[in-house]
Structure formats: structure tokens, C-alpha cells
Amino acid sequence: MSNAAFISRFSPQRSSPEDLEAILVQREPLLRDCVEKVSNSILTANKHQQLLVGPRGAGKTHLLTLIQHRIGKNKKLKNRYYLAWLGEDDLSTSFLRLLVRIYQHLQQRYPEVFDGTALAQIFGLDAEIARAKLQQLLVERIGSKTLVLLIENLDAQLKQMSEAEQRNWRGFVQNHRIVATVASAQRLTDELTGQQHCFHGFYQVRHLMPLQVDDARAMLEKLAVLRQDLPLAEFLATSRGRARVQAIHHLAGGNPRLYVILSEFLNREGLESLVQPFEQMVDTQLTAYYQERMRWLSPQQQEIVQLLCRHRLPMAVKDIAAQLFNSQQTISSQLKLLKDLGYVAPHSVGRESHYELAEPLMRLTWQVKQNEAGKPLALLVDLLRIWFDCSELSDRLTVLPTGSQIAPYVTEALAAFERGEPNLRDEMHLFSLGLIDAELCDESELAQLQDIAEELNQPKAWMKLASAMAHHDRHDEVIDCATKVIDAELDDEELRANGFWQRIVALRNLDRNVEARADAAQLQTMRSTSIFTRLLALVLDAGSEKSDTIISGLEPLLADAKSKQERSVVLMCRAQQYINNGNYSSAVCDLSEVLEIRVTPLHVYALKLRAKCLVILGDFTGSESDATAALAVGGMSKRDEVALRALRGQIYQSTQRTDEALADFQIADSLDLGKNPLSAESSLRYFFVLATELDENGRLSSLAPSAFHRFLSRLDSESKAKYEKKDISGALGTLLFSIVENQSPIDQLALVIRKIGVELAILGWINHLGSALIHQLREWQPKSYKGEKLKRRAWLTLWQSMAQTHVELEIPVRIMQTAFALFDSGDERVLLGLPLEEREILCQALAEREAKPVTQKKLVKKPKVIVEKLGRAVRQANTGKIAKN
Amino acid sequence: MKANPGGQLAANQIIGRDQLIVRIWQILESKSIYINDLRRIGKTHVFEKMIANPPLRWIAVKRDLESCHSAQEFSAQVYRDAAQVLSGKESLKRGLDSVLAMFSGAEIGGVLRLPEGGEAVHWKIVLRRSFDAIQASIAESDDRVVFLWDEVPYMLDNIATRRGNAEAMELFDALRDLSQSYSKIRMILTGSIGLHHVLQQLRADGYHGSPLNHLQRVRVGPLTPEYGAELATLLLAGLQWPKKNIEECAKHLCSAVGNVPHYIHMISQHLHDAKAFDRATIDRVIRNVLLNHSDELDLPHYQNRIRKYYERTDLALIVLDNIAVAGTLPFEEIFNQICARLAFDDEELLRGLLKRLCDDHYLERDDASGDYRFYLALIRRWWCLSRSLTEPAS
């Protein structure tokens, strides 16, 4: 490693490879892969054609240099390849001229193999013959080795060649399998990608990504070490150092060349010798290139790019549109095109899109072009302002020699401070803060936030850090950050209140509830903070069961509410507390006021709550009206819609509007909430309407069993217990009734019945089904209608197959079988085939008076007796003590 | 194995083409072949594998012809290739020397320069005599020769541009004659662009020949899922990142890109840069390529082409949109859906359009049902993304 490393900012090829290795960041995996592929091309029949793509200063030449360096060091590759490097200014208009350049480069490196005499003989020949001869010469001289071709500016090179010449090139590579290419390009042009061009898909494209902040910092640190500037290296490792790099990052845009330039600025000795060659570099190397790039753009696009050149920070679309007196839509579509062409890069800041130059060197070039003679370049002045404090700049100025070239830059930077211009470093930090999403940031961004917060030491930064820490569950650090906000001298009470809130949540997460309540109490007294924050604190403080406490605590909030929205929120909260207390009338009053205020989306919730209160108070008309209005507005959760439709459906049903009830229940049933009491209840209600109401054709719906199945499948443990208490047998009786009485053949319903059987078995309710089957037997008594025997047989067959799966149904099915034999034959002797207990059950079931169709209201209570008897019968069967007559 | 999208592969790294190659050799027993397929599907790799290991008694000669700009150059190249490959055969050498002697031509630096003034005739005769010499040299043996000619359409396009359509037409006809006249010589023609594009241009200038009719058409197509997974597994194993569930990831990857080897290589390359691979990363990388790097594959070409070359752009777009969303559609359904959107009742026009979309590799037909679907899964997915249609489930 050299003592005073000459990192040629302008031409990595002139830097020592060891130094270039030392400062490599981010790209080691890429470099390693490229080198491996070149090696693979040299050692095997594979030939890789690679292309590195990145804007000016992205580090392409750096990588090419290191590729050359690494393959040169590899002993396995020694004497197995020849290398030719065609630089960025070496452009040819034909493949023949390209071949000549390649040969000439090879001649320089390997004169013993590629002699000049052979080449000289080709000059003056007909172009086609010369091409053929030179191809042959190269192939012969390269022999069994591989030609490693490093070629810069491939995009520009292809633009110089006609399609025919490109085909000559590609044809040579394809026919001879001796070439492995590593090329670089600033962008992917049509010649490289277009399907109509011969080089489409020919190269493996590797995009060079801009350096991230950590990479940039690491690069600067490595440069400092290389220059033996250890204090600088140590500073860069601190959080302040990291924050400084973060601030500069927006100007440098992740461009390695700019960071190399910057590193000179950070080195006092380098400053003096930097300015003039730097300006020259811009003038000679960059200006022409960027002027050419600007020429490709339309006038409107040029305006946008120039505007971005004038601004340090990314600009919002609306601001660009405003400054260019154009519509946002037009500017937005132009920005999209510019993004696709690689001129601009987008950033999301909150919900807005911001755009900045994709190539920061373009800003530099533009500044040079715009610059009046002798004035310092704005970009470099900005870099000084960000990196150095005012006092540091003053110190530097005092020690600069007379006639120093850097003095104007330092002076200009100081003048900005004196003019009272905003602190540029803080501006950059604040912008960076805006880019990081506190909820979604990863560990690396969290570390960046920390650095920025420590550097800025402003409450907003601490607040953002607290929020990010909260999302990473780092509660102790949340408390630290929030405390800094709370203790700061702040005019912004809202910010302080947010600090309290963050601290309260963190304290509760750490079970430090006493401290949390103390903060909550304090928060409630901050009358200048938002109602919402105080409301949350009140609820948190009071806990969920103390409705009276909350209701009384809401009075001052109501008095302090400044806007309709705030008042509505407080009223809604109070109404909910009234409902918790059973005080529905007061709840309706509050909700009515909320509805008068009409603040969406509270409006819908208020309607929903009032509908529920009114039905409890007996005002069915009002409740129906509210439910209808809420449903008309829409946008509510599925759960809320299910609840409202079930509520309205019940109202319709109670007022004999069956069709409307059916419609609401059907929709509620279709909105699947999974295992959920509300969902189960909706399905059950739907079932009962289907099972007991006739349709326009006078039939029962065949959808009832499916609805019942859904009811069962949606029961959770809590709702299961509830229905057990209510006696599920009645519902099962209705189910059986609906199956028998609708017009669909029974076997068509077999599948859903089997599913119901499975659900009942899971719930442990098969016994109830058995009792319902027996209870229903009287419905099967002979009525002398056509096909009744067949129908009974089908019914029996269905349940016999169910009994094979559910053993609890064996006895009921046996009883059914005997009953049907009795109905068919009329001979009571068939009863003797049953054990005594079972015979008694059957006789009791048949002796009951003929009942009307079962509805929800008319659940038969008698099945309990049958269940008990069945239970005895099962036990006796199991113990073998049945006395058979 | 290292990802190498677009590059040249060693024969043993060309996966999954053995069955196709066996079929090609079988066809060559009786006919010459025209391979027409999408760019980057692997046509050249098939050639590479064929010449690496030809069956007994077959002599394969491969040549990329895109740097030929005249029929003369082509004929000289044929002469040179014949001389090189059959260099051990004295009879061939005598035959080829007689060509030179007949026309007092000279080979200068490997380029056959024929006397001025007779080129238009001479190149045909050079071709004919070269083929005569080859045929004669192998007549007494079981040997056969196959020319694997890559980038034939580029060559014909070059000739049409530099020398005029007439010479291109003549060369087309000469190729047809050659393929039909020599029982022991076969040829396989292929290229990055379809020959039908060049033919279309020549037909506009009055060309009536049917140079492809006598050739067996073969499509290369994507790999089978098994071979796609094998290739993907080898490439993923070559990455340096932690390898978990490599086979599952390989299957997912190749399924997502429709088992096209070039795309498998390309996505593996991107996975190297992503520094990880699992199903989620694979999906993310593919989506990123489709959304942000579609220019690398020139995917917009598929839309631009419709607008540029199809008279009924509206029909073509509706057809492709509907098939992209549905996955596969029978003709009747396509017709009905168009009728539902446009005032349209011309079934024959639709059939012609669908055929053209198949020729241009947008679509293919299911062997069993005849239903239409996108030829490549990745193109279908990009089509949905770019036109804001419902993306197919991955």
C-alpha cells in the first residue's frame, strides 16, 4: 500500500490495483463473480459475455481494472489467455477497425506473438479481404487460448457501427469461441436490448447499484486509512461521522467518483491540489458527455432536468409542476419517461413521490456550465457546508496560504452561515428522516435514524426514532427517546403529548404500569394537546371496566373539543360507555348528535350503534331505518355488515316481511367470518327462514340443510355452549322437517347431511340428532299418498348409512326401521323385534299428538325425555341387560 | 455451474435437449430442417450439442452466417468449410481444386475471390460444385454431411440490403435446390429472426418461391419441467448463498419462467446479486425483472410489434389480453369474447390472426385440445403486468 495513495479520481487505470482493491466497497461479490466467469471462460469451453451498466462515475473502470488485476494474479490462468483493453475513447465505425484496435492492443502487450509486420500487410487491402485475413490471423495467433476483451463504452461503440458491422462482430464471436468479453456501458441502448438487433440478450447485464450510506462511509474510511489520515478514519467510524456521510449522501447520490472527490476535501493536504484539476476534469470529460445526453431529451424534459440540477434535494412532483407552470399530470408522465431513460430517480416521502437526478455528476457539470468565471462551484461549497461546522471552516480559513485555490470555497461556505441560510447539514438530515418509514425500517435504517437523531438532537428526530424503536420492540430505547422529547424546551405541545404517549405504551409493555399511569394522568392535563391523545390516555388510565370513570372523564374533553370531528369522537366514546352500562337512552342521545354532525366515517358507526340501541328500546322502525341507512353508505367491515343485516332481518321477520328477511339473512350468511358467534347466528337465522317459510312456488327451499351445516361449522366453543343450553334438538327437528318436506329427492341432499353429521359429531351433538329422528317418526305415519313407502325407504337408507359412520345413531335407526315396518305392514307384532326400552321409546314417540311444522318459536321440549330414554337404552344395550320379549 | 445467459456453453452444460436432438437426427435421415423459434430459446445451443457429438457416420459442419453479406461470400464459406471438415478426403480436395481451376480463381487469405464480371453466375456454380465434390467424396461410404447454418435470415437480410433483393431470392432458391438434390447432404437452417420475415419482404418485391416447403419445421421450445428443474438446481447450487430447499426453489424458479433455459440462467444471475434465494426472493426478483428490467428482455417488443405489424391491432390486443387472463381458451370462446366487445363476425379473419400470433411465437396451441395459450409463461405474466390485467397465480 502506498504512503500517499494516488487514487486517481479521474482514471482508475492510473491508480495502483492494490489501492483500488483496498477501497473497494459493496461490489466484492459482483467482482468475484465476474472474475470467476472470466476464469471459467479461459479454462473451459464456456465463454461468458458480461456487461457492467452504470452511469458516469459508478465504478465501471474500477471494476475492469480489478478484473484485469485478479486474473493476472491467478497462476492457474497464466499463459492461457491474451487480454486486450479498449478504452472509452477508442471507438470504431466498423468491425474491421475494431479488429485492428484489438490487434494493436495485443501487439503492445504481447509483441512476441502479435507482430506488427503481419498487421501491416493487411493495410491497403480490400475491406472484406482485410477483415477475413485479420480474423484468420487473430484466430491463428490466439490459438487454443482465450481472448479476454475488456471494452469500455460499449453502448457508444455500438452506436458508431451499422447493424451489418455489428453482425460481423457477433458472427466472429459465435464462429470462433475464443472471446470472453467484459464490457461496460452507461445505459442499455436499443442496440443492446432490441429484439431486432443482433446483440439482443447477448450480454449478461450487471447493473452497478449506487452506494448506500454505509458503503459510502466505508469507502471514505478506507480512503482515509490509505492516506494515513487516521483521525479522519476514526471520526468516520463514530455516529457523528456516519451522520455526516448520511447528510452528504443526497448530494453525492451514491456515486463512487464523487465520494472519491469528496475524500480529497476531507483531507486538508489534498484540498489545494484538487480544485483546478477537478474543474478541468469536469470541463474536458464530463461536459461534452452530458451535453450530448441533454440533446437526446425533448425541451420539456430538459427543463425538468435543469430544474433538478438547480436543487440540492429531491423535489415533489407538484413542486416541479408549479415551478415549470405545467400540470402535475404532464410532469408526472415526463418524469416516468426520464426515470426509464435513467435521468432521474424517484423517492417516496410519505405519500408523495419526489424525484432527483440519477446522476449527480450531471448537476456538477451543469453548475460548471452555468458558472460565472471565478465563482466557486456550488456543489463543492455545499459539501463543505455539510461536512464542516462554522467554527471548523473559520479555522481552516485562517491557516490557508495566500492565493489558495480552496480559499474561495471556504469563504463562500462561511458566507452562507453568515447570511443566515438554513443549516444545510440539518436540512439533509431532516430530508433523510422523511425518507425512512418508522414502521417499516430495517435494522440498517434504524441505525441510520439513530445517527441522525444524535447528530440533529432535535425533538422531531427523537420522536421518529422512538416510533421506529417501538416497531422493533426496543421499549427501553423508546423510553429514552420519548423522555428527550418530553424534557425538551418545546412550543409544540402536540409533539410533547406524542412523546408522553410513546412513553406510556413502552412503559406498559415493560409492565411499569405505575409510571405509565402517572404519564397518562399528566397527558390528560395537557389541555392544548389533541383531544384524541387525551382520550386515549383516559381510556388507558381508566381501564376497560370503569365506564362511569370514563364517562365523567369525558366531560372536560367535550368542553375542550374544538372541531366537529373531535366532538363526534368524544360523543361516540361516551355512547359506547353508556351502552356498556346498559343506559341505551343516553347512548341514543349521544349518537343522534353524532349523526347530526355528520362526520364520516363515524356516521356509519353511529348508525350501527343506534340501530342496536333502538331495537333494544323497542323502536323497530327507527332501528330498521338506521340499519338501512348504514348499509346504504357501505364501506363497513364484514363483521359489521353481518351484524346489521342479521339485526334488520330479525326486524323484517318479526313484521312478517319474509322476503326482505330472507334477503338480509342470505347476505349475512354469505359473508363468512369463520368460526364466529355472529356468523353462526346469522346462518342459523337464515336456516330457520329457509326451513319454515314457503317460497313463491309453495315449497320449502332446498338450501336449508346447507345453511344449517354452515351454522354448525361456524360455532366456536363459546357459542356452542350457548346453543347447548337452548336445546339444539329443536333446531335439528326443524332441519329434519325441512329435508323431508322440500321437493328435492332425499338422496340429493345426502352429501350435505353427511357433512352435517360430521359437524354434529365434532360438537358431540349426534345424540340430539338421534332424538330428533325419533321424535319425527310420527310424521311418517301412513297417510296413503303415492310413493310414501318409497320415501320412507329412502329416508331409512339415508340414516342407515349415517349410522355406519356414527354409532350413536344405531339405536334410533333401529327404532326407525321397526316403525317403518309397522307403518308398511300395519302389524304390531313387528314391535316385538325391539328390546323393551326401545319399544317404549317408539310407542311414546308415536303416541304424541300430530304437531304442526316446527318453527323457531315452536321448538318442542319433549325430546329431552326421549334423550333420557335413549340414553338408558344405550346403556342397557351396552351392558347386555335388555330383556327381550 | 455458473449462470451464463446469452453466452456460449460447453456441450456438457447444455441440458435437456438430447431428445430433441435425437428427433432431429432422425428427421435428417430423410429431410433437411428449418428451426424457427423465439430468440434466446436455445437454437444455437442445440447446434453446439449436435456438433459436439454427432451420430456415427454423420459429419456436422456448423457456421454462423450473419457476417456473410453476399451470395459469393456464402458460397466461399461453404467451400472453405467443406475443405476444412473433409480435409482428409483426397477426392474432395481434388473436386474443390477443380472448382478453382475452372474459374481461375484464387483464394486470398481464406477468401475465395472470383474473377470480376461473372459473380452472379459463379457463386451458384461454386455452391453446386462444392456440393458435388462433397457428395462424390462420401458416395462410396455411409458418411453423410449436415450443414448447421445459423443466422440464415440475417445473411439473407444482409444480402438483400447490400446486393439487392434479387440476389437474396436467388440464394433462397439455390438453397432449396441444394436441399433437394443431394441425398447425402442435409442442412438445418435457423436464425434469430424468422425466415418468414425476410420472405415477406421479398414477396413484396415479387418473389413467388416457396423455399421452406420442402424443409421439416422443428420448434425447440422450452425444456420439460424435469430438465428445467435440473438446470435450475445446477445453477442455484453454483451460487454462494446459503442453500436451503434448493430443489423446491429450483422447481419454483423454472416453473415461474416457463422452463426457458435463457430465463433460468438470467434469473439465477439476478439471484446472485440478490444474495439469497427462496421462493419469496425468486418471486420478487422475477417481478422486479418484469417491472424494472423488461428492457433487458425487450419485452415491450411484444406490444410494439403488434402495433407496428398487425393491421387489426384492436383484435390482436383483445385476443392476447383474454388469453393472458384465462390461461387457455378455445377458438369459440375467443370468438365469442371478441364479438362481445366489438362488432365482429369474421371467423376466418380471426383464424388468420391466431395463426400469425402463433407464427410470431406469442401463442401456441395445446396438442390435445387445440386451445390457444401463451407460448411462454413469462411473456404471459409480463403481458398481464404491463397491461394491468389480473396476474396469473405463481
Q: For residue range A90-149, what is the model confidence (pLDDT) as tens digits? A: 789 999 999 999 999 999 999 999 998 988 988 888 888 899 899 999 999 999 999 999
A402, burial (CB in 10 Å: exposed 0-12, middle 13-18, buried 19+):
exposed
Shortest distance between the Cα of B363 and any Cα of chain A, in A, equals: 18
Describe the strand order of the beta sheet including B372-374 as a list of residue ranges. Answer: B328-329, B372-374, B363-365
- Residue B56: count other Cβ atoms within 10 Å of its Cβ: 6
Q: How does pLDDT run across A796-818, given as a tens digit for each residue?
A: 988 988 888 888 899 999 999 99
| 8 Å CB contact of A132 and B110 | yes
Give contacts of A36 with chain B, Cβ < 8 Å. Answer: 2
Give contacts of B69 with chain A, Cβ < 8 Å. Answer: 128, 164
Helix, strand, coil in percent for chain B, rounding step 5 = 55, 10, 35
Residue A544 has pLDDT above 60, yes or no: no
A-side interface with B, Cβ within 8 Å? 29-30, 33, 36-37, 40, 44-49, 95, 125, 128-129, 132-133, 136, 164, 167-168, 170-172, 174-175, 177, 188, 193-196, 198, 200-207, 340
Answer with the residue of higher pLDDT: A424 or A49. Answer: A49
- And the C-alpha cell for B344? 365482429
Could you say which of A128, A175, A201 has the minimum Cβ distance to residue B6? A201
Residue B121 has pLDDT above 70, yes or no: no
Q: How confident is the model at residue A863 (pLDDT cuts 50, 70, 90)?
A: very low
User: Which of B298, B357, B327, B373 is closest to B39 using CA atoms?
Assistant: B298
Using alpha carbons only, what angle is made at residue A501 by residues A498 and A506, rounded to the nearest 5 degrees?
A: 130
Helix, strand, coil in percent for chain A, rounding step 5 = 70, 5, 25
| 8 Å CB contact of B64 and A171 | yes
- And the C-alpha cell for B222? 422450452
B218, β-bridge pairs: B35
Q: How many CB pairs under 8 A join A and B?
A: 123
User: Which of A764, A696, A779, A697 is closest to A734 using CA atoms?
Assistant: A779
Give contacts of B77 with chain A, Cβ < 8 Å. Answer: none
Give contacts of B294 with chain A, Cβ < 8 Å. Answer: none
- Name the closest residue on chain B to residue A192, using Cα atoms: B296
Share of chain B above pLDDT 70, in %: 89
Q: Which phi and psi angles does B188 have, rounded to 5°?
A: -125, 125
Q: What is the pLDDT of residue B100?
A: 59
| 8 Å CB contact of B8 and A174 | yes
Q: What is the pLDDT of residue A257?
A: 84
Q: What is the pLDDT of residue A3?
A: 41
Q: What is the pLDDT of residue A853?
A: 43
| 8 Å CB contact of B2 and A48 | yes
Could you say which of A168, A177, A196 has the minimum Cβ distance to residue B8? A177
Asked if A512 and A476 count as a contact pair (C-beta separation under 8 A), the reply is no
Q: What average pLDDT does this structure show over B13-31?
A: 94
Q: What is the pLDDT of residue A848?
A: 62
| 8 Å CB contact of A174 and B4 | no
Shortest distance between the Cα of B3 and any Cα of chain A, in A, equals: 9
* Interface residue of A122, A125, A193 to substitute, partner B, most B CBs within 10 Å: A193
Give contacts of A128 with chain B, Cβ < 8 Å. Answer: 69, 73, 111
- Name the closest residue on chain A to residue B41, using Cα atoms: A201
Q: What is the pLDDT of residue A245?
A: 87
Q: How does pLDDT run across B79-107, given as a tens digit for each residue?
A: 888 877 766 666 666 666 666 555 555 55
* Interface residue of A46, A176, A188, A207 to substitute, partner B, most B CBs within 10 Å: A46
A104: Cα separation from own chain's centroid: 54
- C-alpha neighbours within 13 Å on the C-beta side of residue B170: 19
Answer with the residue of higher pLDDT: B94 or A253. Answer: A253
Q: Establish whether the linkage from the previous residue to A601 is cis, with ω within 30° of 0.
A: yes
Q: How confident is the model at residue A857 (pLDDT cuts 50, 70, 90)?
A: very low
Q: What is the pLDDT of residue A686?
A: 87
| 8 Å CB contact of B154 and A36 | no
Give contacts of A40 with chain B, Cβ < 8 Å. Answer: 2
- Residue A782: count other Cβ atoms within 10 Å of its Cβ: 12
| 8 Å CB contact of A193 and B296 | yes
Q: SS3 of A146, please? A: strand
Give contacts of A205 with chain B, Cβ < 8 Å. Answer: 293, 296
Residue A827 has pLDDT above 70, yes or no: yes
Q: What is the pLDDT of residue A253?
A: 79
Angle between helices A863-879 and A728-741 (to 10 degrees): 90
Q: How does pLDDT run across A429-446, given as a tens digit for each residue?
A: 888 888 888 887 888 889
| 8 Å CB contact of B240 and A175 | no
Q: Which phi and psi angles does B150 have, rounded to 5°?
A: -100, 150
Residues in CB range of A213: below 8 A, 6 or more apart = A242, A245, A246, A249, A448
ipTM above threshold 0.85: yes
Asked if A716 and A681 count as a contact pair (C-beta separation under 8 A), the reply is no
| 8 Å CB contact of B66 and A129 | no
| 8 Å CB contact of A129 and B108 | yes
Residue A683 has pLDDT above 60, yes or no: yes
Please tell me the least confidently modeled range out of A408-412, A451-455, A719-723.
A719-723
| 8 Å CB contact of A204 and B6 | yes
Q: How confident is the model at residue A272 (pLDDT cuts 50, 70, 90)?
A: low
Give contacts of A174 with chain B, Cβ < 8 Å. Answer: 8, 44, 64, 66, 150-151
Residue B311 has pLDDT above 50, yes or no: yes
- And the C-alpha cell for A6? 494516488
Q: What average pLDDT does this structure show over A737-759?
A: 77
Q: What average pLDDT does this structure show over A289-317?
A: 86
Could you say which of B39, B65, B161 has the minimum Cβ distance to residue A195? B39
